[in-house]
A and B are shown apart, each in its own frame.
Chain A
Amino acid sequence: GAVVSQHPSWVICKSGTSVKIECRSLDFQATTMFWYRQFPKQSLMLMATSNEGSKATYEQGVEKDKFLINHASLTLSTLTVTSAHPEDSSFYICSARRLANIQYFGAGTRLSVL
């Protein structure tokens, strides 16, 4: 089956620093990847759509300058949380679209900002 790798699985950082999260499709090419955010005991909320070779599309209310997305290749998308603050602490999950309308998810990244 399709495998999506997300790294790191857990990161702790100091307030004001930037954190980069990687999402890789290991056995298929993904022109489109998605980034979601999940608060404790809540649902997943789509943050942005990452398109290979072009700018990401952000959902309403998501700060583009805070959450930088780069989709430089067909197998890698990165999410950088810039100048992270405690309110950015959350669980971030990526997914990659392979076959028609099937998204495969990474295992998620827990971000804790102190």
Chain B
Amino acid sequence: AQTVTQSQPEMSVQEAETVTLSCTYDTSESDYYLFWYKQPPSRQMILVIRQEAYKQQNATENRFSVNFQKAAKSFSLKISDSQLGDAAMYFCAYRYSGGGADGLTFGKGTHLIIQP
């Protein structure tokens, strides 16, 4: 079974600085998707960024980018120019891309604090 590990329970960064959240995963599959979701205090899950495993190019979405290392099974999230609104729980998630309709496997999350 696949597992997702987020080793940083909490991270703190100064506003306007850059922070990187770590995520590693374990799977025997070669085709899959990886995601970062944000959960603010409202608890609404918001998709931040996604990465297809077959793509070598790292995904980017404005201030958010990933460092996808398939061989190392690592999928870190970099947030540039951190803003107060970025404060939230961040969850790394995995989904097998094969047939079927599998749900997401989540990591335990990283609580991101933005210092003004």
Contact = CB atoms under 8 A, between A and B. Distances in A.
B101 A51 contact: yes
B45 A95 contact: yes
Contacts of A84: none
Contact of A42 (B95, B105, B108): B108
Summarize A's interface: helix, strand, loop or mixed: strand
A12 B2 CA distance: 35
Given A101-B33, A101-B50, A102-B50, A91 B43 contact: yes
B62 to A, nearest CB: 15
A43 B103 contact: no
Contacts of A32: 101
Interface string B29-47: 0000100010000111111
Nearest to A91: B43
- B interface, size bucket: 20 to 34
A107 B44 CA distance: 5
Interface of A: 31-32, 34, 36, 38, 42-46, 49, 51, 59, 91, 93, 95, 97, 101-105, 107-108
Given A31-B101, A34-B103, A43-B107, 18 more contacts: A34-B104, A36-B103, A44-B91, A44-B104, A44-B106, A46-B105, A49-B103, A93-B45, A101-B50, A101-B95, A101-B97, A102-B47, A103-B47, A103-B104, A105-B37, A105-B44, A105-B45, A108-B44
Interface of B: 33, 37, 42-47, 50, 91, 95, 97, 101-109
